[in-house]
Structure 1
Amino acid sequence: MAVKKLNDSLSLIDEVRKWGSFKQNGVSLRYMMEFGSKPTEKNLLISAQFLHKELPIRIARRGVELESLPYGLSDKPAILKVRDWYLESFRDLRSFPDIKDTNSVLEFTKMIQMIKVRHNNVVPMMALGVQQLKKGLDRKVDYEDLDEIHEFLDRFYMSRIGIRMLIGQHVALHDDPNPAPNCVGIIDTKMSPLEVARIASEDARFICLREYGSAPDVNIYGDPNFTFPYVSAHLQLMVFELVKNSLRAVQERVIDSDEVAPPVRIIVADGIEDVTIKVSDEGGGIRRSGLPKLFTFLYSTATNPLEEDSDLGNVRMTMAGYGYGLPISRLYARYFGGDLQVISMEGYGTDAYLHLSRLGDSQEPLP
């Protein structure tokens, strides 16, 4: 296979900047479902050709941003590592020749799956970079007010969700020509939110049991027969984070008392426009002054589980600490036109409302 060569690193940076200025093209959940419902050779070729042009643009945009972050964040060792991953992935994509037949689709699919794996640890590595920044900041700087950093991280993670969605969808369509019933790539056309909530809750309770030795019950209410099209992996991640936060709050409230831990409640409501999932707890609530910080990436009430010498391959899922669960969950919700809101009653508990758009028509938000 003839491979186009990108020259030295200087010309690579020039190429990244050029591609970073190109227009991105968003897609909707409905389009992904309709297009992927017929994974013919022709459609897989069209999909690969689209990604061959689209992925370098999205990756280049993030690569350019990683070079010029405020407060010296670009120079932190962990951020430099992430930037190298993005530049390497850009080089791989731009070095790949035009896709014209089934064999080149196969090779391209293998390559983008490798890119997806390369970027698996981007979130903890970025968290480590932000931690390195916080250690070096002047103590007079209130890092909850670093708007430029928050806005960058919002754009960066929203873009990452989109890139992984596009790659994951293409790879799933290519690798599984006979998918499970109701599945179109990684989209479940008849996803049961109650079933996903049950699985996510069991995972969160397992983590809670491991950390504290006990875990509150989780009660789930809603129509067990209700289904709608969505990416179940996205929903599982969001519900897991919300339930995990609630379990931690309840457990820490009752841990030194004889009080029986009140259950966490999940209610699934089927609306005309939205499917809404409410996660309620009696964990004591959040101070009103703390609510604006919940969706920032530089804030957590727990000890950060990452250290400078962390082996990222062995970082265990913990109850809390990155300060990333809620803001990233909100981005996942917004990716397909939904949202996440948290309302708290200090001294009693917290309600989180996860709104999921059931229309499937909203375009990807492209930062």
Structure 2
Amino acid sequence: MATKKLCDSFSKTLIDEVHKWGSMKQMGVSLRCMLDFGSVQSERNMILAAQFLHRELPVRIARRAIELESLPYGLSEKPAVVKVRDWYLDSFRDLRSFPEIKNANDEREFTRMIKMIKVRHNNVVPAMALGVQQLKKSLDPKLDYEDLDEIHQFLDRFYMSRIGIRMLIGQHVAVHDPNQPPNCIGYIHAKMSPIQVAKDASEDARSVCLREYGSAPNVNIYGDPSFTFPYVPAHLHMMVFELVKNSLRAVQERYMESDKPAPPICIMVADGEEDVTIKVSDEGGGIARSGLPRIFTYLYSTANDPVYERLDVGSADVVTMAGYGYGLPICRLYARYFGGDLQIISMEGYGTDAYLHLSRLGDSQEPLP
């Protein structure tokens, strides 16, 4: 069955406009800028923010839609990828057909619309994962995953852009919420405690491990509990959850048949001048050096393949992370989005240390693909 090309489902006028907007320059925003702007919640600021999004979102969405149309190895033709492309084009059309924002009423309508766009894109990660699985099934099994570098680079750009789009929409929508917790400005917590977030994320990861294996190693957390800095708790929770979940699984599987008790996972939080660094250490046996380059690719997972079981995953981005082999590469993108990074250092035969660096200054611009 031939896949519908763009021009079959969308008008030529729209496609021309997508190409026009896709060639425009994107404007990166920093965490500090979002924090400062959101902390003064005047009607004027809300209108200015909406006007910025009205211009910025179509540029970012158009770029991804164009790229989705011309992927290597026939990935663009996979049904799941066509579906994602159509979501992007629908969102582009909604944004472009929304009139100029002139007053508070326009701004409220616009906010309602972008909230719907965010929901429309909830399942982009599992849908793209499914597209990649469909591609893997059709490729020569002898093909080395390093040969699929173009696809890895595309997915890095695509998911980084998605993090940015969701952050901008989510931040604007959340600033409207009258029931925001104290010190929260939209998605950003001005006084976030990394120790507290690490505790919550570890408990969530342990409960997943308990459910799967019937027991779970302990997690010990070290650092100053009173230390806080501005960051997005949901992003940090997701990253720590993923790292701890991987460590728990490695330790659990290594000690399952052993008489010795499973050693705990250790989390260390260090606050430096420039970076807050969170180290997650385990004694789960480590990763062979030959396998290390593969842990950041999207076509490699050691877990079972859950994509087919639940493409109807709920709206929580966190749930859609587990087991696609997407956890680590997407974690690294979240860290890099606000100027941080993720490094994995392994001692085969002993264990693994993951270093999550977060920029404490919050002044780096979004890395726009």
TM-score (norm 2): 0.94
Q: Provide the C-alpha distance between the structure 1 equivalents of 2:188 and 2:162, rounded to a whole number of angstroms.
A: 18
Residues 260, 37 of structure 1: alpha-carbon distance in 2 compared, 3 angstrom cutoff: same
Q: State which of 320, 324, 327 in structure 2 corresponds to 1:325.
A: 327
1:236-251 equivalences under 5 Å are 236-251=237-252
Q: Deviations over 1:179-201 (max 9, x none)?
A: 32211111101000000000000
Q: CA deviation at 1:229?
A: 0.4
* Contact persistence 2:286–2:351 (CA under 8 A): yes
Q: Provide the C-alpha distance between the structure 2 equivalents of 1:108 and 1:15, rounded to a whole number of angstroms.
A: 20
Q: CA deviation at 1:144?
A: 3.5
Aligned twin of 2:172:
170
* Contact persistence 1:303–1:320 (CA under 8 A): no
* Contact persistence 1:201–1:218 (CA under 8 A): yes
Moved over 3 A (4+): 308-320
Q: State which of 329, 333, 339 in structure 1 corresponds to 2:341.
A: 339
Aligned twin of 2:3:
none
1:174-185 equivalences under 5 Å are 174-176=176-178, 179-185=180-186
Q: Provide the C-alpha distance between the structure 2 equivalents of 1:186 and 1:197, rounded to a whole number of angstroms.
A: 17
Q: Provide the C-alpha distance between the structure 2 equivalents of 1:261 and 1:140, rounded to a whole number of angstroms.
A: 38
Q: Provide the C-alpha distance between the structure 1 equivalents of 2:116 and 2:321, rounded to a whole number of angstroms.
A: 29
Q: Deviations over 1:109-154 (max 9, x none)?
A: 0000110011111111111100000000012311243110000000
Aligned twin of 2:305:
304
Q: Provide the C-alpha distance between the structure 2 equivalents of 1:366 and 1:273, rounded to a whole number of angstroms.
A: 22
Residues 145, 53 of structure 1: alpha-carbon distance in 2 compared, 3 angstrom cutoff: same
Q: Deviations over 1:55-104 (max 9, x none)?
A: 00000000000000000000001101100110010010001000001111
Residue 335 of structure 1 aligns to which amino acid in structure 2? Y
Q: Provide the C-alpha distance between the structure 1 equivalents of 2:11 and 2:246, rounded to a whole number of angstroms.
A: 44
Q: Provide the C-alpha distance between the structure 2 equivalents of 1:122 and 1:365, rounded to a whole number of angstroms.
A: 20
Aligned twin of 1:146:
148
1:1-367 equivalences under 5 Å are 9-176=11-178, 179-307=180-308, 310-313=311-314, 317=319, 320-367=322-369
* Contact persistence 2:123–2:315 (CA under 8 A): no
Aligned residues: 360
Q: Provide the C-alpha distance between the structure 1 equivalents of 2:189 and 2:224, rounded to a whole number of angstroms.
A: 18
Identity %: 77
* Contact persistence 1:144–1:298 (CA under 8 A): no
* Contact persistence 1:253–1:283 (CA under 8 A): yes
Q: CA deviation at 1:321?
A: 2.3
Residues 205, 40 of structure 1: alpha-carbon distance in 2 compared, 3 angstrom cutoff: same
Q: CA deviation at 1:317?
A: 4.3
Structure 2: segments with no counterpart, 5+ residues: 1-8
Structure 1: segments with no counterpart, 5+ residues: 1-6
Q: CA deviation at 1:309?
A: 7.8
CA RMSD of superposed structures (Å):
1.7
Q: CA deviation at 1:319?
A: 9.3
Aligned twin of 1:4:
none
Q: Provide the C-alpha distance between the structure 1 equivalents of 2:195 and 2:262, rounded to a whole number of angstroms.
A: 23
Aligned twin of 2:6:
none
Aligned twin of 1:3:
none
Q: Deviations over 1:194-236 (max 9, x none)?
A: 0000000011001101111111100000000000000010000
Q: Provide the C-alpha distance between the structure 2 equivalents of 1:228 and 1:308, rounded to a whole number of angstroms.
A: 39
TM-score (norm 1): 0.95
